[in-house]
């Protein structure tokens, strides 16, 4: 009896381009043939970055940092491209992308809300500030709001210990904000 080879089904691409690769497991990473405009644009940027470093293997971390800065995350296709171009196994690219805290495999929000958890801020009460921010945003550290407006993160030291405890929203610093201040700051983001 002839065994019919079943056609491999592929999950349908998700319609919103931003949620492209959310929560993807490395085993699921494989080439996509589709070419939507967004993807081409993204890879364009990636190509330039890789070319800038002359496909130098030792520049892997620097290349990933620039891709991260450009996109606010590391899209799967960019990682595949970098892996191929630099001739570095994807597993190794993935290892670096997960080892360092600067990289994110899921898209980040438009506003980066960051609570400093450095020692100086800790002794001046940053755990309480973090609680306030968690309440205000309804997010845990590391999470992004479903509308991709905010990403809440913690950082080990921002180096402005005199202000502690410090809340950073994008490039603005807020020293020792009260519960009211936190609400106002969050409401002030568009």
Partner 1 sequence: MNRLSSPAALERARKRILSRRDPDKPCITVCSGTGCHSYGCDKVSAAFVDELAKNDLQGKVDVRRTGCHGFCERGPVVVIVPEEICYLRVKPEDVPEIVSTTLVGKRLVDRLLYVDSNGQKIAHEGDIPFYKRQMRIVLASNRLIDPKSIDDYIALGGYSALAKSLFKMSPEQVLEEVKRANLRGRGGGGFPAGVKWESTRNAPAATKYVIVNADEGDPGAFMDRSLLEGNPHSVLEGLIIGAYAIGSHEGYVYVRQEYPLAVENLSIALSQAREYGLLGEDILGSGFDFDVIVHRGAGAFVSGESSALMTAIEGAVGEPRPKYIHTAVSGIRGQPSNLNNVETWANVPLIINRGSGWFTSIGTAGSKGTKIFALVGKVNNTGLVEVPMGMSLREIIYDIGGGIRQGKKFKAVQTGGPSGGCIPESLLDLPVDFDELTRVGSMMGSGGMIVMDEDNCMVDIARYFTNFLGDESCGKCVSCRMGIGQMIKILDRICQGKGQKGDVELLEELGEVVRDVSLCALGKTAPNPVLSTIKYFRDEYKAHIEQKRCPAGVCKALISYYIQPDKCQGCMICLRSCPVEAITGGKGLVHIVDQKKCTKCGTCLEVCPPRFAAVTRLSGEPIPAAPSLGTKVLRPKGKQQ
Which spans of this chain sit near partner 1 (rule: CB under 8 A)?
56-62, 64-65, 92, 95-96, 99-103, 117-120, 122-124, 128, 131-132, 135, 155-164, 166, 173, 175, 179
| Nearest C-alpha neighbor of 149 from the set 15, 20, 42, 18 | 18
The least distance separating partner 1 from the CB of residue 143, rounded to whole angstroms, comes to: 17
How large is the angle between the packed helices 126-137 and 179-187, nearest 10 degrees?
40
| Residue 170 zone, left/alpha/beta (φ > 0; ψ -120 to 50; rest) | left
66 or 77: CB nearest partner 1: 66
107 or 164: CB nearest partner 1: 164
The least distance separating partner 1 from the CB of residue 59, rounded to whole angstroms, comes to: 6
The least distance separating partner 1 from the CB of residue 39, rounded to whole angstroms, comes to: 24
Q: How many CB atoms lie within 10 A of CB 138?
A: 10
13 or 127: CB nearest partner 1: 127
13 or 89: CB nearest partner 1: 89
Q: Which residues pair with 174 in a beta bridge?
A: 167
Establish how many alpha carbons lie within 13 A of residue 175's alpha carbon, considering only the half-sphere containing its beta carbon: 7
29 or 179: CB nearest partner 1: 179
| Contact partners, residue 29, CB within 8 Å, separation at least 6 | 76, 79, 80, 90, 94
Structure tokens at 143: 């999470």
The least distance separating partner 1 from the CB of residue 135, rounded to whole angstroms, comes to: 6
The least distance separating partner 1 from the CB of residue 189, rounded to whole angstroms, comes to: 18
């Amino acid at each position: 009896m002839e065994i019919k080879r079943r056609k491999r089904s592929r999950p349908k691409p998700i319609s919103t381009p931003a949620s492209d690769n959310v929560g993807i497991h490395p085993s699921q990473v494989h080439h996509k043939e589709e070419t939507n405009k967004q993807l081409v644009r993204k890879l364009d940027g990636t190509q330039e970055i890789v070319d800038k470093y002359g496909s130098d293997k030792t520049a892997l971390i620097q290349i990933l940092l620039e891709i991260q800065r450009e996109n606010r995350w590391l899209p799967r296709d960019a990682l595949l491209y970098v892996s191929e171009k630099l001739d570095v196994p994807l597993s190794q690219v993935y290892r670096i992308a997960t080892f360092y805290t600067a990289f994110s495999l899921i898209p980040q929000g438009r506003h980066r809300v960051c609570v400093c958890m450095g020692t100086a801020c800790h002794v001046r009460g940053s755990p309480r500030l973090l609680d306030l921010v968690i309440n205000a945003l309804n997010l845990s550290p590391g999470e992004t709001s479903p509308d991709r407006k905010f990403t809440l993160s913690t950082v080990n030291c921002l180096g402005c210990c005199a202000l502690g405890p410090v809340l950073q929203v994008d490039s603005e610093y807020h020293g020792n904000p009260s519960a009211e201040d936190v609400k106002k700051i969050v409401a002030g983001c568009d």
